Each structure stands twice: as structure tokens, then as C-alpha cells.
Amino acid sequence: MPKMKTHSSLKDRFKITGTGKVKRYKAYRNHLLSHKSGRQKRVLAGQPLMAAGDVRRLQQGLSNLK
């Protein structure tokens, strides 16, 4: 049986940490930033960890990323 391929868009949108947790990017941070306040941009910075229930849905698409 052939190997499962990693889903290309998931590979770019999510990162897997060394302990196996999944990090994601926040929305509203790519363009049209000039009218957003500095506080709003700071709140949107960083990469939060995904909830366990959401990670289970991504496991098949991220199968070869480790």
C-alpha cells in the first residue's frame, strides 16, 4: 500500500512542535494593517496551540509531518 501524502495546504498553515502539538497562525494579520491599532496587532501576534479536538481532525492530512 502506498504512503499517505501530506496535504500541501495543511503543511504550510500548521507547524508541529517537538512534543507533537500543533501550532496555527491567527487571521486578520496579513494586510490592511495600517488602520488597526498597535494593541490589536500585538494581540494577533504569535502562534497559539490548537485544541485537541481540532488536532484529531488534522491528523490524516498531517500524517507525514513530524
Residue range 22-33, pLDDT digits in tens: 999 999 999 999
3-state secondary structure of 65: coil
CB within 8 Å of 60: residues ≥ 6 apart = 4
Complete domains list, the chain, with CATH: 8-58 (4.10.410)
Residue 64 has pLDDT above 90, yes or no: no
Residue 60's pLDDT is 78
How far apart are alpha carbons 53 and 44 in whole angstroms?
22
Residue 66 has pLDDT above 70, yes or no: no
3-state secondary structure of 24: strand
